[in-house]
Amino acid sequence: MIFFISSNNLFGQEIINYTTEDGLPNDIIYNFHQDNNGYLWFGTDDGLSKFNGKYFTTFTTKNGLYNNYVIDVKGYNEDTLAIATWGGGLHLFTKDSLIKPIKNDFLKINELLIYKKDIYTYFGNNIFLYKKIKKDWKLVSFGIDTTKSYVENPLKNQTISPRVSKIKEDLFFHSNYKSGLHDSKYFEGVSILTNNKKLEYRFSHLNGKVISTITNFNNSFIAAEGNKLIFLNEEKILNEEVLNFMGFNIIKIIPLNKEELLLLSSDKNSFKELYLYHLKNKKIINVREKYNINSTVSDFGLDFENNIWITTNGSGVFQIPNLKTGILPVVKDDAIYKMKYYNDKLYALSPGYLWEIKGNKQKKIKLNAFGKGLHVYKNKLYISSFTQKDTLLIDNNIIEIKGLLNYRDEDFVISSQESLVINGKEEKRIPNSINHILKTETHLIFSTGLGLYLLNKKTNEVTSLDFKELQNTQITKTIKKDDALWVATNKGLVKYKNNKIERFTVDEGLLSNNIKDILINDDEKLWIATSKGVSVFDGVSFVNITKEENLISNNVTSLVKNNKGEIFIGTTAGISVYNTKKEIVEQPPPIINVYQDNSSFTFDVISYNSSNSLFSQYQINNEKWITTSANKVNFNNFKEGNYSFQLRAKKPNSVWQYSESYKFSIVIPFYKKKIFIVLIILIIFGLSILFIINQLRKSKKANKKLKNAIEEQEQLEKKLNSVRENIAQDFHDDLGNKLASITVLTDLLSGKITGENEKKIVYKIQENSDSLYKGTKDFIWSLNSKSDNLEELVTYLSDFGEEFFHKMNISFKIQKEIATNISLPYYWSRHIILIFKEAMTNVAKHANAKDCEIRFFCDFKVLKIQLLDNGKGFKESDLKFTNGLKNMQLRAVKINGDINISSTEKGTLISFNSKLPKRGS
C-alpha cells in the first residue's frame, strides 16, 4: 500500500508499507538487516524473511529453524548470517541452509552483536557470549563485577551486565539501558576490555555520564545519555543537545546525512519511538506519528541506497524511499503538448487552452480552437491551431493563426495547412507533416513525419538526408550542437556529423526510443523527452528522470529552459520544473547477484527505490549487449565452444553496474554432433544401398527362376498342346471313323428291315450314334489347342447356333465386342460350349421363341457371354426338371464364373460372367 505524502526533502514523496498481503509471513517484525549481497532480512513471529525488492522468501522450522520466533538477524561473515530465536537459541544461516552451532541451545535470546568470530547476545538483562574455539562453539554468560573485572559464568548477583557496541573494529562497553538506574554507577562513560580482563575508560571526557549508545559521525562520535545527545571527538566533548522527549532513552543512532540523524528511543517498558532530528534547525519529527504508523516501532535501518526501513510490532515493514530531487510540480492534471519560454513567462498549450505562468502567478487562456504549435517572432507569440479564422488576436502580443504549423523569420513565412506554403508559394518537395523547423546560417531544416529535409536559403534547393536511419522516420525535432545535428526520432536519438550517422537507443541507456523533444542546457548536456521520462546525456552516458524522481508523469511531451537555470518539463499530466543549478542526484547503481548453473544463469538485480524501472542487459563474448526483462537466461542451445557471460544493470538515474565475467562451455553430446549425425546418415544410406543391392540380386534370381519357369511352362504347354492334338487326331481317326461306320451300317440295315419294332431299334441306334458322334466331335475340338483361343470359341458357338436354330426356323443373331483375341485357360472352352449348347437346346424346346441372340464381350479382365430370346419365359418354380440349369451353374463355377438367369413373359436372358486369370497364373 502506498500513501502520498507532502513531506520535507528527507522523506521524498511516498512511504511504502509491506505486509502479509505482499508476502511477509507475519506483520510482527522485530528487526532489519541488509547482507553483503544487498538482500534484506526480517525477523518475524513466523520465521525469517528474505526480500530482493520484488518478492519475499520465508524460512521456517520446515527449513531447519528450531523456533519460528526470529528476534534478530546479523551478518556473521561474508556469506553467513547469525540468527537469534526466542526459545531456539542461536542459528547460523549459510547458502540457504540453517545449522545450530550448539544443539542443546534453547535460550530466548534477542539482540546480536558480532565481534570477530564471537557473538554477543542478551537474555533479559543478562549478556551471553557464543565463543568459537576452532570448529566448536561454547556458550558462556558473563558480567562485570564491582572491580570492573570481566567474570565468566558469574554467580547470581555477583556481577551486572553491560551493553556492548562496536565501532569499526573496537568493542565498547557502556550502560545497559534495560538494567535500571541502580546499576548506572558501575557503567559511567564508555570502556574497553583490556588484555587482563579489566574495563578501562575509552573516553575520559565521558566519565560520570551514563551512556546508552555510541556511534561514529563525521570523523568523530555521537553518544547518548537519556534524551541527550553528546558530540565528541577523541579529546573532548564538542557539544551537548537535550531533545524534547522526556522519559525516553536514546538507544540507537544512525546518521542519515551530515545534517540529519535518525534516533530510536525507548522508555522503561521498552516502548520505542523513531525520530528525525535536524542538527541545524533543531527540528524533531516523530516518524511514527508523521506517517500514521499505528503499531509501535521495533527497529529501523538504512539500505545501500539510503532508503529508510522501519519494522513494527503489528503493521509490517515501512520503507521511506530516498528520492530527493530538485523537481517540483508547476501545473497538475492537465495535458501539455507544446511549451515556449518568452518575455520572462512560460507558455504551454493544453487542449483548447494556453497557460501563461510567471513565478507563482498562473493564467489559463481559452483558445478559439485546439492549439498545435508555438512560435515567437518580433516580440509576438504565434499559436498555430485548428481555428477557422486566418488570424485571431488574443491580446496585443499573442496571435492565434490557422494551421498545423506557422514559422516566421526575416526571410521566410511558412504555414502548413492542407499543403505546405513557403512565402506564398505551395511547396511540394517537402512533406506537409512538419513537426519543427530549425534555422541555421545556410539552411532551414525541416523535421517531418517522413524524414529530414534541408532548404538552402540562397538557392532554394531542397535535399533529403539520405540515411536509412532517417528515411521514412518520424522526426520530432532537430537541434545543432558542436557542428553536429542531434535528431529526435521515434526510433531513438541520432547524431549527424561529417556525413556520418550515430544512433543512441534503449540499448545505450535511453529510457525510450520514442523521443518527443530535445534541448541543450547551459552545461552542454542534452535533455531528451521520451514517452517514459527524461534522459539527460552528457555525451558518454545517460542519467534518467522518471516519476520515481518526482516527475508528474513519465509521458513527457515538451522541454523548455529559462535564463534562471530552470528546465520546464511538460507531460500529459502537467508541468514539472527542475533547477539545473542543483546537481542531478545520481543514485547508487543496483546490486547484481548472479548464480551460475553450467550454461544457465539466474540473477537478482536489486534496487529498493527503483525496482520497477531497472534496466538490465547481458553480453556474450564481448559482443553486443542484449536487453532482458527476465531474471534467467539459458544458453544450452548455443553451438559447441567456450563462452563468457556478463550482466550489467542500471537505474534510471544511476551509472551502469557490471557483474563479474562468468565462463561456460557448451559441449554437445557425441550423438548430437553433426559429424555423428552425418556418419549415421551415411551408415543408413550404405546399409540401404546394400539392402537394395541384395534385393536386386534376389529379384534377379527370382526373375531368372520365373523366366525359367515361364519357359518350362511354355515347353509344357507346347508338349500338352502336342499331346492334345495327337489325342484329337487319334480320336478322330479311330473313334470317329468307327462311329461314322456305325451310322452307315445302321442306314443300310434300316433299308432291309421291314418290321416296325426292328426299325425303331435301328432308329434308336442311329440316333444315339449320331449324338455320340457329335459329342465326340465337340470333345475332339476341345482337345485341340486352337480351341483355347477366344475367337475359335466364338466361331464355334456362332456356327453351332446358326445351324441349330436354322433347322428350328428361329432367327439367330450374333453380337461381338472383343478387344483382342486371347487364349483362354485350358478346358474353359469345353465348359462354355456345353453351357450354351444346353441353353440353346432349352430355347428350342421350351421357349417358343422366334428370335435368339448371342452376345460376346471381353476387355482383358472380364469375359461375358449372353444368350437372349423373345420367348414366353419361365418360372423356376414351375420347372419339373432343373438338372440342366444346375449343370450349367456347376460348369460355370468350375471355370471361376457364374450364371445369371433373368426370365419374364417377354423372354429370357442367360448371362455367363467370369474374371479372366492373369497371364501366367
pLDDT at 182: 40
Question: At 182, is the secondary structure helix, strand, or coil?
Answer: helix
Q: Tell whether pTM > 0.85.
A: no
In CATH, the architecture of 787-915 is: 2-Layer Sandwich (3.30)
pLDDT tens per residue across span 524-545 = 889 999 999 999 888 877 888 8
1 confidence band (pLDDT: 50, 70, 90): very low
Q: Do the domains 26-161 and 787-915 sit in the same CATH topology, yes or no?
A: no
- Strands 380-385, 398-402: pairing kind: parallel
Q: What average pLDDT score do residues 175-200 get?
A: 73
Identify the H or E element spanning 709. Answer: helix 674-730
Beginning with the edge strand found earlier in the chain, give each strand of the sheet holding 126-133 in spatial order: 112-115, 118-123, 126-133, 136-144, 150-152
pLDDT at 477: 92
Contacting residues for 362 by C-beta, under 8 A, at least 6 apart: 331, 355, 356
Backbone φ and ψ for 97, nearest 5 degrees, come out as -125, 140
Q: What CATH number has the domain spanning 327-405+467-579? A: 2.120.10.30
Question: At 687, is the secondary structure helix, strand, or coil?
Answer: helix
- What CA–CA distances, in Å, run from 625 to 106, 539, 679? 52, 19, 38
pLDDT at 8: 43
**Crossing angle of helices 756-783/674-730, nearest 10°?**
150
pLDDT at 39: 96
Identify the H or E element spanning 274. Answer: strand 272-278
Half-sphere exposure of 592 (CA within 13 A, CB side): 24
**pLDDT exceeds cutoff 70 at 3:** no
Cα gap 234→72, rounded to integer Å: 32
Cα gap 531→535, rounded to integer Å: 11
- Whether the CB-CB separation of 200 and 227 falls below 8 Å is answered with no
Angle at the Cα of 45 from the Cα atoms of 39 and 47, rounded to 5 degrees: 45
Compare 22 and 803 and report the one with higher pLDDT. Answer: 22
Contacting residues for 48 by C-beta, under 8 A, at least 6 apart: 41, 42, 58, 59, 60, 65, 70, 73, 83, 93
Q: Is 339 exposed, middle or buried (0-12, 13-18, 19+ CB in 10 A)?
A: buried
909 confidence band (pLDDT: 50, 70, 90): very high
Q: Is 850 exposed, middle or buried (0-12, 13-18, 19+ CB in 10 A)?
A: exposed
Q: What average pLDDT score do residues 651-661 get?
A: 87
Q: Which grid coordinates belong to 794?
A: 466364338
Q: What average pLDDT score do residues 128-154 get?
A: 89
**pLDDT exceeds cutoff 60 at 5:** no
Half-sphere exposure of 630 (CA within 13 A, CB side): 8
Q: What average pLDDT score do residues 627-636 get?
A: 88
Lowest pLDDT segment from 621-625, 792-796, 872-876: 872-876
**pLDDT exceeds cutoff 80 at 920:** no
Backbone φ and ψ for 90, nearest 5 degrees, come out as -90, 140
pLDDT tens per residue across span 92-121 = 999 888 999 999 999 999 899 999 999 999
Question: What is the number of other CB atoms lying within 10 angstroms of the CB of residue 870?
Answer: 18
70 confidence band (pLDDT: 50, 70, 90): very high
Angle at the Cα of 265 from the Cα atoms of 106 and 249, rounded to 5 degrees: 95
Helix, strand, coil shares, percent, the chain, to 5 = 20, 45, 35
pLDDT tens per residue across span 478-515 = 999 888 899 999 999 999 888 888 999 988 888 899 99
pLDDT tens per residue across span 432-486 = 888 999 999 899 999 988 888 999 999 999 988 877 778 788 999 999 988 889 9
Among 1-5, 412-416, 609-613, the range with the most confident prediction by mean pLDDT is 412-416
Cα gap 595→602, rounded to integer Å: 5
**pLDDT exceeds cutoff 70 at 240:** yes
pLDDT at 720: 61
**pLDDT exceeds cutoff 60 at 6:** no
- The residue among 1, 523, 629, 611 whose CA lies nearest residue 323 is 611
Q: Which class in CATH covers the domain with range 591-667? A: mainly beta
- Whether the CB-CB separation of 644 and 663 falls below 8 Å is answered with yes
Average pLDDT, the chain: 85
pLDDT at 249: 87
- The residue among 806, 815, 793, 800 whose CA lies nearest residue 867 is 815
- Whether the CB-CB separation of 811 and 802 falls below 8 Å is answered with no
Among 317-326, 576-585, 795-804, the range with the most confident prediction by mean pLDDT is 795-804
pLDDT tens per residue across span 740-756 = 666 666 666 666 676 66
570 DSSP β-pair partners: 558, 575
Kindly list the domain boundaries of the chain, sorted by start residue.
Answer: 26-161, 327-405+467-579, 591-667, 787-915
- Amino acid identity for residue 866 in this structure: Q
Cα gap 330→562, rounded to integer Å: 14
Identify the H or E element spanning 721. Answer: helix 674-730
List strand residue ranges (DSSP E) for 386-474, in order.
391-395, 398-402, 405-408, 413-416, 420-422, 425-426, 434-439, 443-448, 451-456, 462-464
pLDDT tens per residue across span 691-719 = 898 888 888 888 888 878 777 776 776 66
Q: Which of the four CATH numbers 3.40.50.2020, 3.40.190.10, 2.130.10.10, 3.40.630.30 does domain 26-161 have?
A: 2.130.10.10
Under the phi-then-psi rule, with left for phi > 0, alpha for psi from -120 to 50, and beta for the rest, what region is 208?
Answer: left
- What CA–CA distances, in Å, run from 303 to 14, 178, 247, 376, 881? 17, 28, 30, 50, 120
- The residue among 152, 99, 147 whose CA lies nearest residue 128 is 152
**pLDDT exceeds cutoff 80 at 904:** yes
- The residue among 173, 174, 145 whose CA lies nearest residue 158 is 145
- Amino acid identity for residue 121 in this structure: T
- The residue among 604, 602, 609 whose CA lies nearest residue 588 is 609
241 confidence band (pLDDT: 50, 70, 90): very high
pLDDT at 729: 58
Which residue stretches of 564-607 are H helix?
none
Cα gap 515→474, rounded to integer Å: 10
- Compute the CA torsion angle 155, 156, 157, 159 (nearest 10 deg): 40
9 confidence band (pLDDT: 50, 70, 90): very low
